[in-house]
Structure 1
Amino acid sequence: MTNISISPFMDEIKQAEPSRKFSMPHFTSFKGYEDPNRHLKHCRSAMVLYRNNDALMCKIFATTLQGEAQDWFHTLPPRSIWNFDDLSLVFIKEYSSYSSIKKKSDHLFNVKKNVKESLRDYVKRFKAEKAKIVGCDDSIAKAAFQKGLLADHSLFGEMIMKEDLTLVNSFALADKHAIWDEAR
């Protein structure tokens, strides 16, 4: 059983008080199964005005942890955290298995329409995968979308004939084909 009255912070952090002008920013909670890098970036962004105050950064960060993450925090050895960098390092180390794997535009070439999948469902799934890619190149996405179609699908043939299609136009064309497919 862990004694939660024993803090993992050094005495300097424990004893530091926020200024009277400090106003608590809004934070999303970290429960232990989200991307730790994303949570750390969120906290750093919200605390940008106080980033030079390690004690405050540590104390505020600790309040963003809930559930299993809060339990983990209280298992840290007493006086083991000297600054926010220390806290960030042990936090990332503990939760690194939940980090998002950064995908690139070419990942979309792995998204293929299944034979029994409706065109509408394929488009929905493709868009969801595209949304996970930061800075996705639309020309690569359009090529991957087309390549993911079955070669005998009427949309595939029409997309080949219209080489100047944008990704948005390709999705609009797919919507028309989905309506035709559903009418059959």
Structure 2
Amino acid sequence: MEKVWKPKQEKMEKRLERKMTAMSEQSIRTTRISTGLSYDYLCMHQNLDLPEGFKVPCFELFNGIGNPKAYLRAYCDQLVGVRDNQALIMRLFSGSLTGEASDWFTAQDIRRWVTWEDMAVAFMERFRFHMKTVPVRYYLEKVKQKSTENFCQYASRWRMEAASVQPPMGKEELVSIFIRSQETNFYDRMLSMAGKQFFELIKMGEAIKYGLKTGRIISVAGKATGSSSTGFIRKKKEHVANISHTPSPRYK
């Protein structure tokens, strides 16, 4: 038999139900805030509207390796049309990060960054130690050809390293240091090319490499080894000859 609810009891049931629902929603909100999963917590400038006609640029992603200041400059250059809209610049920044940089941003409390400068300073402090050390002139003399490179590949890699030296080198200094960085077989033959163009050194290096490979040019190391061993053999023969011609003592 179906139960008949009294109006007063029904009203109490509805009131209790509303109270339970409110408590449940409050519990969910509290959980989101404590775990950092609320929209307000996760989204920076959540009430921001994109300017009319604005298209989000295709950013070059930063993974945490490289010069962070150079990256910030490149990022801002792509947003030159909205330079006064700091909220937009801050909002889009996370989309330009990947890898370690993205992990770092996700772990931050974005509410502590009030301005773009606040965010940029925090970014610089985190990644400034990841900057590649600028090579010095002495370092360039230690850059040698790898066994997996031909001479042209080696020269191109060396030239890229030299381009990072500060202050920049002139053409004559560039050629001079490149010659000094060569192994003996190349150095001796390139020494007379001081003052030439860099591409001429590459051609000379390739020619020397080919000559050494085909045997048309004798390696300095091989020549030194050959003369040394020849001298040793000659001395050994002379020593044996002297022993064989030494008269035996006579006994009476």
Cα shift readout 1:6-52 (whole Å, capped 9, x = no counterpart): 1484xxx4422221111111112223334322321221111122222
Tell me the number of residue pairs that the alignment of Structure 1 and Structure 2 aligns: 178
Q: 2: distance between equivalents of 1:24 and 1:16? A: 14
Between 1 and 2, higher relative CO (CA 8 Å, sep ≥ 6) is seen in: 1
Relative to structure 1, is the Cα distance of residues 160 and 176 closer, same or farther in structure 2, using a 3 angstrom cutoff?
Answer: same
Q: Which residue of 1 aligns with 2:128?
A: 96
Q: 1: distance between equivalents of 2:149 and 2:92? A: 48
Residue type at the aligned position of 1:23: K
Q: 2: distance between equivalents of 1:171 and 1:106? A: 21
Work out which of the residue numbers 145, 153, 167 in structure 1 matches 2:178.
145
Q: 1: distance between equivalents of 2:165 and 2:158? A: 11
Q: TM-score, length-normalised on structure 2?
A: 0.59
Structure with max Cα Rg: 2
Matching of residue 38 in structure 1 with residue 70 in structure 2: yes
Matching of residue 123 in structure 1 with residue 155 in structure 2: yes
Gaps of at least 5 residues in structure 2 are: 1-33, 216-252
Q: Equivalences for 1:9-158 in 2 at 5 Å?
A: 9=44, 13-104=45-136, 107-112=139-144, 120=151, 122-123=154-155, 125-133=157-165, 135-150=168-183, 152-153=184-185, 155-158=186-189
Q: Secondary structure at the match of 1:79?
A: helix
Relative to structure 1, is the Cα distance of residues 89 and 142 closer, same or farther in structure 2, using a 3 angstrom cutoff?
Answer: same
Offset at residue 104 of structure 1 (A): 4.8
Please tell me the root mean square deviation across aligned C-alpha atoms, in Å. 3.0
